Structure 1
Amino acid sequence: MWLLGFLCTSSGILIGGAIAWAFRGIQKKVDVVYGLCAGIILGLICFEIIPEAIEISGWLSTVVGFSIGMLIFEVLHRVFHQKQVFKTTTKKESYILTGVILMFSFSIHNIPMGIILGANEEADFTMTLLQTLLFHSIPEGIILFTPLILAGINLLKGLLISFIVSIPVSLGVFMGGFLGYNHQTLNTILISITIGIIFMVTVSEILYPALIQSSIFKVLLCMVIGIGIIGLYVKAF
């Protein structure tokens, strides 16, 4: 089961990365790409991740986890910018920093996904979860690889990144087999932490730079289109 979870997640991320790479020609229009990505992320949060967290353990755990995630981002953001090695003096370094934070966020998010998969004992529901992992990871791959492709990463590094982000699913499967469904609140808090981190990354590292460098109307229009795309995607799958 841990291998299936890993393969479904990494495959989805790679498919998303391939889509981002296929449209690399328009990525010079960073404001358009970042507006779309911001919309996709916000749509993913609103239409899938938040309802998933609330369904597992309610509003309180979701709000607590979201707040912790925002605090974690602030700490990481300050540490990254205080250390000389993480100072972003070029666009390439800024893209890399955004990609690293997104990679960290998605990795955390994949732990509770793996726990749910590992704790489940129904074969039919397991297949549904694996399909969800695959399709859920495609937009994450697009979001994750967009700044990294803009930074000029090669294919080997892309494969390595997809594997790194997928490993927590396998770890979560082992944890889920041990914990069962007795720790739903912990799962919700973990999921909500990633919501908080990803939300802050979206606003401060993706949406805000696009807004100050381009037309506000243009960026917001692209964001609405991105939200619409992910809304149709979630409804379809």
Structure 2
Amino acid sequence: MNAMMLGGFLFFSISIGGAVALLVSRLFQHTTQGLSLLCGGFLVGLLVNDILPSSLKLYDSWGIVLGVIIGYFLFLILHKSFHPTISLKPSLYLLAIAMFLHTIPLALTIGSLLEDSNFGITLTTSVILHHLPEGFALTIALLSQGEKLWKLFLCFIGFSIFFIIFVWIGHFTNLSDKGQSMLMGISIALIATTSISEFILHNIRTASMKSFLAFLLMGYLLSYVFHIML
């Protein structure tokens, strides 16, 4: 198993997640507000059910806290850079950056184990399954902004190349546990702030309370289904 093959498996994984998102979006006829709220609920569920519990088990808690603080201020900077004040569209760039950062610790860990044949099937399965939710979230985010699908394809390709690079880096170098914890904390902060600020709060006045709660709950339940399946 090498980095290129793993990158291919990752692309396959996020593409499946994207295909599921396309099917789900058709149920709502690409309604912008509904898809945004669905994505917000899904991301909150992803944090609560998967990312936060696993991060607290695997990484240094103080490193995560420091990363969250850094990530919050990074969000403020990126928000001004990528999100015009006159626009109510959630920023795909913020979410993509968060997802890219989220995959770095996993890629580094996999890179350090590439030569261990005992981990081949396990790692491959992990890569395929772990990124299904990321593909789903990125696709829903893009559809909620009315973007073209070719941009999603480029994002998935970039995601895979980014993953390959850090698998390769992890094969030759070791990032400290504190460094990986900080990266995970930054990722958590960006996902949390993006989901709450960009996808949820921006749509709180554009939908009825019933629709608002329904889409949020549906997104959360979808994330829970992913959590149970994976």
Same fold (TM over 0.5): yes
Q: Contact 1:66/1:193 (CA < 8 Å) preserved in 2?
A: yes
Counterpart of 1:62? 64
Deviation digits for residues 89-117 of structure 1, max 9, x if unmatched?
566xx25xx11221122112222221011
Distance, in Å, in 2 between the alignment partners of 1:172 and 1:4 is 14
Equivalences for residues 60-99 of structure 1 within 5 A: 60-81=62-83, 87=84, 89=86, 94-95=89-90, 98-99=91-92
Counterpart of 1:172? 166
Counterpart of 2:127? 133
Q: Contact 2:110/2:167 (CA < 8 Å) preserved in 1?
A: yes
Counterpart of 1:84? none
Counterpart of 1:53? 55
Q: Contact 1:116/1:176 (CA < 8 Å) preserved in 2?
A: yes
Counterpart of 1:104? 97
Distance, in Å, in 2 between the alignment partners of 1:166 and 1:7 is 7
Pairwise CA RMSD of aligned residues?
Answer: 2.3
Residue 219 of structure 1 deviates from its aligned partner by: 2.0
Identical counterparts, % of pairs: 25
One-letter code of the match for 2:22?
A: W
Aligned length, in residue pairs: 227
Residue 80 of structure 1 deviates from its aligned partner by: 3.0
Q: Contact 1:112/1:187 (CA < 8 Å) preserved in 2?
A: yes
Distance, in Å, in 1 between the alignment partners of 2:25 and 2:200 is 19
Cα 1:192/1:201, change in 2 over 3 Å: same
Distance, in Å, in 1 between the alignment partners of 2:224 and 2:23 is 22
Q: Contact 1:109/1:191 (CA < 8 Å) preserved in 2?
A: yes
Distance, in Å, in 2 between the alignment partners of 1:62 and 1:75 is 20
Q: Which runs of 4+ in 1 moved over 4 A?
A: 88-91
Q: Is 1:23 aligned with 2:17? A: no
Residue 159 of structure 1 deviates from its aligned partner by: 1.8
Distance, in Å, in 2 between the alignment partners of 1:21 and 1:88 is 29
Q: Which has the higher helix share?
A: 1
Structure 1 unaligned spans of 5+: 82-86
Cα 1:225/1:154, change in 2 over 3 Å: closer
Structure 2 unaligned spans of 5+: none
Distance, in Å, in 2 between the alignment partners of 1:140 and 1:27 is 22
Cα 1:224/1:154, change in 2 over 3 Å: closer
Distance, in Å, in 1 between the alignment partners of 2:67 and 2:104 is 14
Q: Give the one of 213, 216, 228 matched to 1:220.
A: 213
Q: Contact 1:66/1:192 (CA < 8 Å) preserved in 2?
A: yes
Q: Give the one of 33, 36, 40 matched to 1:38.
A: 40
Counterpart of 2:13? 12
Counterpart of 1:188? 181
Residue 77 of structure 1 deviates from its aligned partner by: 0.8
Cα 1:48/1:170, change in 2 over 3 Å: same
Counterpart of 2:222? 229
